[in-house]
A and B are shown apart, each in its own frame.
Chain A
């Protein structure tokens, strides 16, 4: 089955710096790669996603890149702000009849003012 590895497990940056979180996946059939943000005590919420036919996607200060050949994808946050502090999860899914959405172990991002 699918296996998603996520690094680093913790990341501390100064406000205004950039943050990068990296994930690798094992199943070459995976074709959907979402990123979720979870604030303390709350439910995970989607912040950005990318499909296998796209190499990069950007939404304001966040961007995701995908390298299907190498089976890895990354989340980039620019101009970080204290409210970006949270746990971020990457995930991979094959969709279709398989339907399993597998998550990485998460990255705790701390943005210091």
Chain B
């Protein structure tokens, strides 16, 4: 039982490049979330999903897209990376109510130069 796994753990991008972050969970959770963490800003919600095939915008969605084609996977895409997207990205998942513990992945440190 791996819990929530993020791929990759580290990445350096050049401005304008694109990439996809993968989040996989093996707990059969309905809810999945993508957050970014910046110093002094806490965890800000980018996008979330309340079930397979659904996505919704969070607090800071601009510049990101997501897809949830399979229940266990939640993908975060950056189409044209900008230095402002340098951050640590965390994925999390929780069960069908959303009102239970959210389990976090180990994080992805992304640097855009």
Residues of A within 8 A of B (CB): 1, 6, 9, 31-32, 34, 43-46, 49, 51, 89, 93-106
B98 touches A99 (CB 8 A): yes
Beyond A89-B42, A100-B48, A103-B35, is A1–B59 a contact (Cβ under 8 Å)? Answer: yes
Residue of B nearest to A108 (CB): B40
A101 touches B42 (CB 8 A): no
Residue B104 is within 8 A (CB to CB) of chain A in the complex? yes
A44 touches B42 (CB 8 A): no
Interface residues contributed by chain B, number (CB under 8 Å):
28
A-B contacts, 14 of them at CB < 8 A, read: A9-B40, A32-B98, A32-B99, A32-B100, A34-B101, A43-B105, A43-B107, A44-B90, A45-B104, A98-B98, A99-B50, A99-B98, A100-B56, A105-B42
The binding surface of chain A is classed by DSSP as loop
A101 touches B101 (CB 8 A): no
